[in-house]
């Protein structure tokens, strides 16, 4: 049975966020895209929903919790007890695109603050 993963990301500027994901080679699914959101296809069954911040906050309220409450709850599940910053994710991407990562192939680099439990 195929499973699908949707990650919802609040963004300040939807056009810039779509342009960024497009520059990484991901495509936009117009069926789930409007002025408040854009669905980026990042894998066979993996999608990133880019949501304008104001829309994200209203959808969180409809679910019964404020965006701040949901964020606080999620942070407790991350061993680092915080979310990564755009700079941290950008630096990881920049490294992987640099000559310094030339020997790295076919790897999943987890920039998740230790959220994914793994061991050797």
- pLDDT value of position 63: 57
In degrees and rounded to multiples of 5, residue 9 shows phi and psi of: -120, 120
For the segment 49-102, what is each residue's pLDDT rounded down to a tens digit?
999 988 887 765 555 667 777 778 778 878 888 888 888 988 988 898 889 988
Q: Could you tell me the residue range of the domain that residue 76 belongs to?
A: 65-104
Contacts of 27 (CB under 8 A, 6+ apart): 40, 41
Overall average pLDDT of the 19-46 stretch: 90
Pairing of strands 27-29, 37-43: antiparallel
- pLDDT value of position 23: 93
* CB 35, CB 21: distance < 8 Å: no
Has residue 115 been placed in a domain? no
Overall average pLDDT of the 6-16 stretch: 90
Looking at the predicted structure, is the pLDDT value of residue 19 above 90? yes
Looking at the predicted structure, is the pLDDT value of residue 38 above 80? yes
Q: In the 3-class helix/strand/coil scheme, how is 58-100 assigned residue by residue?
A: HHHHHCCCCHHHHHHHHHCCCCCCCCCCHHHHHHHHHHHCCHH
Task: Report the C-alpha gap between 88 and 33 in whole angstroms.
Answer: 28
Claim to verify: residue 72 and residue 18 sit in the same structural domain: no
Has residue 29 been placed in a domain? yes
pTM as predicted:
0.51
Claim to verify: residue 60 and residue 71 sit in the same structural domain: no
Number of domains in the chain: 2
Has residue 113 been placed in a domain? no
């Amino acid at each position: 049975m195929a499973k699908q993963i949707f990650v919802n990301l609040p963004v300040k500027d939807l056009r810039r966020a779509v342009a960024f994901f497009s520059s990484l080679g991901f495509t936009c699914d117009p069926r789930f895209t409007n002025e408040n959101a854009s669905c980026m296809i990042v894998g066979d069954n993996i999608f990133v929903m880019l949501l304008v911040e104001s829309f994200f906050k209203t959808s969180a309220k409809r679910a019964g919790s404020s965006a701040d409450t949901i964020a606080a709850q999620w942070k407790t599940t991350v061993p680092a007890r915080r979310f990564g910053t755009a700079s941290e994710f950008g630096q990881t991407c920049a490294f992987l695109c640099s000559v310094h990562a030339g020997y790295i192939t076919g790897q999943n680099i987890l920039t998740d603050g230790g959220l994914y439990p793994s061991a050797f």
